[in-house]
A and B are shown apart, each in its own frame.
Chain A
């Protein structure tokens, strides 16, 4: 601090006493408005510290008089959202999926809830909108069902899964490894594949091969796929006469499937590990949603 306060002769403002090349720095006071806002901010911050969470302790913190917490707010909002949903959830309790679908309000709610649950749980395999994925993840929007497409069938499938080791009631059926276990010779496998293709008018095998294939089919396949090859929902046996092929409709793909079948697995959603299973209402909403995708029977 300069001992003697010097005033600038032109402006009459005090100088700081600093001088560079003959130029002296003026000690212009801060604008009043700025100063007042500054003081007001200090007062504000003290008030804020008293009311709002502010001072950190070693473990925990001072929560302020209001003990405000964003996390608690979110929890309240979630609880409120559940509260609003519970109107519909309560109404849905004890109703079958068909009954839900008959009530337009519940239907709208179930479709929205089902779509959300589908996106969270099912879409990784079945793709959004049930578009399916190649390699054994069936399209849910078409009119072909392995285990049945009624509301009840769909609900059982979702609830207990397919070949799921989580649930003893799971949908279970298997197809022998006709080729790799030596039940049929290479030629026999090829003949039966040709016959299967011919059921939907495909393939160009001769009458002799087809006759041989038909014979093997009648002996080995009809118990599950039916005498006419249209399949059986109880065994998850696909219809072999339609245009839809889960593992591909090329001759080589059909041969591969007869030789050493790939058997799809779907979790039992009710029983998923660590008690993470879906609750009953969600399963019913999912059922209504999947049924609505375009193929429900």
Chain B
């Protein structure tokens, strides 16, 4: 341990190699384990708050109940794959409406792009599951094995009873959290209370167990072992975020113009002619990805801002202004270095890129909301028979067969009248339906179901003047005041 001559009572210098320094070693060295030091400060507090919020949302959402009436699941958010329904509070999505989810994903991506262009890697640093669970796992590790130095010492020690106990305890807690996490994931697909009772009594099917343990395993691996390697090597996001950032985006920045030339500083020494960075490497030691932010913006930096807290702590102790490391833009660095004032907050936020994103997000959101409010609870699909295309009846008239699927997504039964439009003199027969006359049929469409009808339409041959006539099936629901028309074709010789 390398203790500074300067400020020995306040700031301890860290003996760490940053990733940049490690890079000067040959290629293909093994991973150097990162021992991030615990830190406290403003960013850390925000991070704890976001972490609490995200985890609470994730673990508790499946337990929110939502009454949908009998025979339907009462879980507010449920992706019911076996029955092919997605439930989101009051919205019930059928397979053919899956594009609503697409719209939701597009909105989410553009929001992510916009957040990135304004605030850099805020997603990575604060809300990404990888960051959130790694943070949680590190907290557990800190709690059981102690802080950076204690952990490094422990790992260097030969195996002993107390080391074994600590390690076992840590992994046990990790595995427990992982199991809860993997289980909670399945709760979005299987009714939550049913899943818990089933898990405890061993009554779940093997596939469910497989997925619970799969996600338990991935949580344990990714948050416990792989950690920053996921961000550096596995995740595609760091690769293309460069295209989303510009010189006005806020990124975690070491203000070089203020910090350099860096150097050790003794208490009472003048700050004239030198930078504010006292080269204590606190920023490196707290970094969960093990880099030195003073080397500039880097692929590995997840923008967690913990180095800001670390350096602010140091600056407070040596009595220099805070914010040597801060969320700031590249343009501001240039302006500051040239002695000019930074750009205003407003012109940093409002620029073509963010305007376009905001425009797209609003547009797609509006489109989605409109589609959701206007969506019909009734879907009709008309299939014209191919075998036979048409049949000549004994009186010479021509008959076509149709299979009509009526899908009632609503919760009420509907009474509808079916007629045919576009063929004068057409008669209609619906197998198994009540008919008052030869040109219309009454259909009882039960709620939340798909019904299939066989429909025959026939006309005298002399009505047809071409071998394909466009017709429409008209569904009239007087109770709901709803008339819908569905195109098809009538074929003749």
Using CB atoms and an 8 Å cutoff, list the residues of chain A in contact with chain B. Answer: 127-132, 139, 141-144, 239, 242-244, 292, 294-295
**Residue pair A139, B387 in contact (C-beta under 8 Å):** no
Given contacts A292-B454, A294-B399, A294-B456, contact A141 B388 (CB under 8 A): yes
Which of B387, B389, B392, B461 contacts A142, CB < 8 Å? B392
Distance A128 CA – B394 CA, assembled complex (angstroms)? 21
**Residue pair B396, A142 in contact (C-beta under 8 Å):** no
B21 within 8 A of A: no
Distance A221 CA – B306 CA, assembled complex (angstroms)? 105
B431 within 8 A of A: yes
Q: Which residues of B contact A244 (CB under 8 A)?
A: 392-394
B385 within 8 A of A: yes
Closest to B394 in A: A242
**Residue pair B391, A139 in contact (C-beta under 8 Å):** yes
Interface residues of B in 372-423 (CB under 8 A from A): 385-389, 391-396, 399, 401
**Residue pair A139, B394 in contact (C-beta under 8 Å):** no
Given contacts A141-B401, A292-B454, contact A131 B394 (CB under 8 A): no
Using CB atoms and an 8 Å cutoff, list the residues of chain B in contact with chain A. Answer: 385-389, 391-396, 399, 401, 431, 454, 456, 461
**Residue pair B387, A127 in contact (C-beta under 8 Å):** yes
Closest to A145 in B: B394
Q: Which residues of A contact B389 (CB under 8 A)?
A: 131
Which of A129, A130, A131, A143 contacts B393, CB < 8 Å? A143
Distance to closest chain B CB from A126 (angstroms)? 10
**Residue pair B401, A142 in contact (C-beta under 8 Å):** no
Q: Which residues of B contact A139 (CB under 8 A)?
A: 388, 391-392
Distance A143 CA – B393 CA, assembled complex (angstroms)? 6
**Residue pair B393, A142 in contact (C-beta under 8 Å):** yes
**Residue pair A131, B454 in contact (C-beta under 8 Å):** no
**Residue pair A141, B431 in contact (C-beta under 8 Å):** no
Closest to A123 in B: B387
Distance to closest chain A CB from B80 (angstroms)? 24
User: Interface majority SS on B: helix, strand, loop or mixed?
Assistant: loop
Distance to closest chain A CB from B403 (angstroms)? 11
**Residue pair B391, A294 in contact (C-beta under 8 Å):** yes
10 more A-B contacts (CB under 8 A) besides A142-B399, A144-B394, A243-B395? A129-B386, A129-B387, A129-B388, A132-B388, A139-B391, A242-B394, A242-B395, A242-B396, A244-B393, A292-B454
Distance A132 CA – B456 CA, assembled complex (angstroms)? 18
30 A-B pairs in the complex with CB atoms less than 8 angstroms apart = A129-B385, A129-B387, A129-B388, A130-B387, A130-B388, A131-B391, A139-B388, A141-B391, A141-B401, A142-B391, A142-B394, A142-B399, A143-B393, A144-B394, A239-B394, A242-B394, A242-B395, A242-B396, A243-B392, A243-B393, A243-B394, A243-B395, A243-B396, A243-B461, A244-B393, A244-B394, A292-B431, A294-B391, A294-B399, A294-B456
Closest to A107 in B: B432
**Residue pair A294, B401 in contact (C-beta under 8 Å):** yes
Which of A129, A143, A292, A294 contacts B394, CB < 8 Å? A143
Q: Which residues of A contact B392 (CB under 8 A)?
A: 139, 142, 243-244
Q: Which residues of B contact A129 (CB under 8 A)?
A: 385-388, 401
Q: Which residues of B contact A131 (CB under 8 A)?
A: 387-389, 391
Distance A167 CA – B385 CA, assembled complex (angstroms)? 35
Q: Which residues of A contact B399 (CB under 8 A)?
A: 142, 294
Q: Which residues of A contact B456 (CB under 8 A)?
A: 294
Distance A144 CA – B396 CA, assembled complex (angstroms)? 11
Q: Which residues of B contact A295 (CB under 8 A)?
A: 391
Distance A132 CA – B390 CA, assembled complex (angstroms)? 11
| Most B CB within 10 A of own CB, among A131, A239, A244, A294 | A294
Distance A129 CA – B388 CA, assembled complex (angstroms)? 6
Closest to A101 in B: B432
Closest to A243 in B: B396
Q: Which residues of B contact A243 (CB under 8 A)?
A: 392-396, 461
Distance A127 CA – B386 CA, assembled complex (angstroms)? 11
Distance to closest chain B CB from A154 (angstroms)? 17
Distance A131 CA – B394 CA, assembled complex (angstroms)? 15
Distance to closest chain A CB from B394 (angstroms)? 4
Distance A244 CA – B391 CA, assembled complex (angstroms)? 10
Q: Which residues of A contact B391 (CB under 8 A)?
A: 131, 139, 141-142, 294-295
Closest to B387 in A: A129
Distance A129 CA – B391 CA, assembled complex (angstroms)? 11
Sort A-B residue pairs by CB-CB distance and give the 4 closest, nearest first. Answer: A129-B387, A131-B388, A242-B394, A243-B396
Distance to closest chain A CB from B227 (angstroms)? 19
Distance to closest chain A CB from B291 (angstroms)? 26
Distance to closest chain A CB from B396 (angstroms)? 4
